[in-house]
Amino acid sequence: MNALVKPETDIPFEATPTHAVNELESWFDALKRAYRQEPMPSFSQRKQRLLALKKQLSRYQDVLAQAMSDDFSGRSVTESKMADVLAPILDINHVVRHLKSWMKPRRRATELMFKGNKLELRYQPKGVVGIICPWNFPIYLSVGPLITALAAGNRCMIKMPPNCPRTSQILRQMLSEIFPQDLVCVVDGTHPQAMQISHLPFDHLVFTGSPTSGRVIMANAAANLTPVTLELGGKSPAIVLDDFDINQAAQRIAHGKGFNAGQICIAPDYAFVPQAKMAAFVAALKQAHSKMYRQLSGNQDYTSLVDEVQYQRFHQLLEDAREKGAEITQCLEYGDGRQTPLYVVTQLTPQMRICQEEIFGPLLPVHGYQDVQEVVDYINQRPRPLACYLFSHDEAQREQILAQTHSGGVTINDWGWHVMNHSVPFGGIGNSGIGNYHGEEGFRELSHARSVLLMRDWFPISLFSPPYGRLIQKLVLRLFVGKADRNL
């Protein structure tokens, strides 16, 4: 068995398995049997399930926020409610408004030679969807894919992270009150690692975590030809152009690094600012962080690093940068336990780990630049990120950067908020992910698009059967294919 790892960091930690693999297979078989008995839930069934989930999220909001705070040894209740409760409720609202139209068969035009027959596209549930959830947003990143899967008519098995035991317990309790286990099955985080579940022959598998773990998940799924959606994070840049107010940019980027203590896949991972404004930007970041949080000790608005492993990794990154000549600015004093302030790092070199690895914490490397093309080249020489943040009022320059770079999504003049808008898909590209969920695109991803052609009784299809060489066949070939080149 592979070592148990945290999906976001691939750092091992110990946990005691509480379920045997044959139990997982038994639960999976129950989901498959139930799906075969109800392969096409109606719109009203899907809507009822989604509204029941919305009601539970509202009812359980305080309990969920407290559970996540317990697991983190201190997590902002407001941020928990915004990200892990409000966001999925907004998602449900959008899905319920549009689901009926998404489910309708779509008429498609036939080829001219089949004119008069009926061709349509029908979206049917794939079956049983596996969801492997990380620890950083344990409700949003489990319930979010669940919403899309239920909207598409699927049944689900959710594997929770091992270091969020209290949250896993509450989620299981919350869902068991509205869904039978053969509709939604929640697997404890202390189950043997995600690699065990990814061996099951799901009809689709959704994984959120690191690119390293994503490659293993994808390889395991490939054995069953299971399609995957991978949301994998990466190093998302924040680019401040010369026309944008440096203090406003610093305030918004500081919020992105402070939200959940930077433990978020779409957090600004590093920043580019005009070289002449580097000192002003660092000072503005420190001021913005101080203004938002004042002091960390006793501050319930500021989240802790989730556990000792994450805490140690963060300081190893920081020390590596210090040893390699970085200039480091600490923005506040440490708080209680693992409450860690924002650090701003300049004088960077490519050899530093913070320039190579996704940081996943309150640390921001800042690069200076002379020309915007330097920024574009830097981004394009590296794996494609999950997000990109452009700070500029110059539409021409914004469009130039958007045209020349790739990322999963973009927010202009702020960070991260595109993910809270559920009419657009959420997902990565290349190293930052495959596929998406949210919105109509997510519904399509977790549905099978089935082509259905109805041939009319009167249609003379026999004209295209042997014996070949008849006039109508020759005319069709001449009309659509044209003349062959006899000189070849």
Q: Residue 349 falls within a domain, yes or no? A: yes
Q: How confident is the model at residue 12 (pLDDT cuts 50, 70, 90)?
A: very low
Residue 295: give its domain's CATH number.
3.40.309.10
Q: Which of 265, 331, 355, 388 is catalytic?
A: 265
Question: How does strand 409-412 pair with strand 387-391?
Answer: parallel
Among this protein's residues, is 265 annotated catalytic? Answer: yes
Rg (alpha carbons) of the chain, rounded to whole number: 26
Assess whether 365 and 229 both reside in one domain: no
Confidence (pLDDT) at 145: 97
Do residues 230 and 437 touch, judged by C-beta distance below 8 A? no
Assess whether 332 and 271 both reside in one domain: yes
How many domains are contained in the chain?
A: 2
Region 325-331: mean pLDDT is 98
Range of the domain at 190: 31-233+439-449
Assess whether 266 and 226 both reside in one domain: no
Q: Residue 432 falls within a domain, yes or no? A: no
The share of the chain scoring above pLDDT 90, in percent, equals 93
Q: Is the pLDDT of residue 337 over 80?
A: yes
Q: For residue 263, which of 77, 134, 171 has the smallest C-alpha distance?
A: 134
Q: What is the reported pTM? A: 0.92
Cβ atoms < 10 Å from Cβ of 141: 28
Residue 442, token pair as written in the block = 């997510």
Do residues 376 and 404 touch, judged by C-beta distance below 8 A? yes
Give me the torsion for CA of 153, 155, 161, 162, rounded to 10°: 170
Confidence (pLDDT) at 196: 82
Region 235-261: mean pLDDT is 98
Q: Residue 478 falls within a domain, yes or no? A: no
Q: Residue 362 falls within a domain, yes or no? A: yes
Question: Cβ neighbours of residue 36 under 8 Å, at least 6 residues apart?
Answer: none
Question: Average model confidence (pLDDT) for the chain?
Answer: 94
End position of a domain, from candidates 389, 423, 457: 423
Question: How does strand 327-330 pair with strand 343-346?
Answer: antiparallel
Among this protein's residues, is 231 annotated catalytic? Answer: yes
Q: Is the pLDDT of residue 80 over 60?
A: yes
Distance from C-alpha of 116 to C-alpha of 424, rounded to nearest angstrom:
36
Residue 411, token pair as written in the block = 């927010």
Assess whether 265 and 387 both reside in one domain: yes
Assess whether 228 and 299 both reside in one domain: no
Q: How confident is the model at residue 28 (pLDDT cuts 50, 70, 90)?
A: very high
6-10, 57-61, 183-187, 330-334: least confidently modelled range: 6-10
Confidence (pLDDT) at 22: 82
DSSP class of residue 329 equals: E
Region 113-142: mean pLDDT is 97
The share of the chain scoring above pLDDT 70, in percent, equals 95
Q: What are phi and psi of 235, to 5 degrees?
A: -100, 100
Q: Residue 461 falls within a domain, yes or no? A: no
46-60, 178-192, 309-323, 342-356: least confidently modelled range: 178-192
Confidence (pLDDT) at 11: 38
Q: Is the pLDDT of residue 1 over 70?
A: no
Residue 159: give its domain's CATH number.
3.40.605.10
Assess whether 353 and 385 both reside in one domain: yes
Q: How confident is the model at residue 355 (pLDDT cuts 50, 70, 90)?
A: very high
Distance from C-alpha of 332 to C-alpha of 341, rounded to nearest angstrom:
5
Q: Residue 428 falls within a domain, yes or no? A: no
Assess whether 160 and 267 both reside in one domain: no
Assess whether 207 and 259 both reside in one domain: no
- Using one digit for the tens of pLDDT, what is the confidence trace for 99-112? 999 999 999 999 99
Assess whether 50 and 195 both reside in one domain: yes
Q: Residue 475 falls within a domain, yes or no? A: no
Q: Residue 44 falls within a domain, yes or no? A: yes
Assess whether 189 and 243 both reside in one domain: no
Chain-centre distance of CA 277, in angstroms? Answer: 33
Confidence (pLDDT) at 446: 98
Q: Is the pLDDT of residue 397 over 50?
A: yes
Assess whether 277 and 395 both reside in one domain: yes
Assess whether 407 and 444 both reside in one domain: no
- Using one digit for the tens of pLDDT, what is the confidence trace for 132-184? 999 999 999 999 999 999 999 999 999 999 999 999 999 999 999 999 999 99
Q: For residue 85, which of 69, 65, 102, 67 has the smallest C-alpha distance?
A: 65
Transcribe 54-71 into DSSP letters: HHHHHHTHHHHHHHHHHH
Q: Which of 8, 79, 231, 445 is catalytic?
A: 231
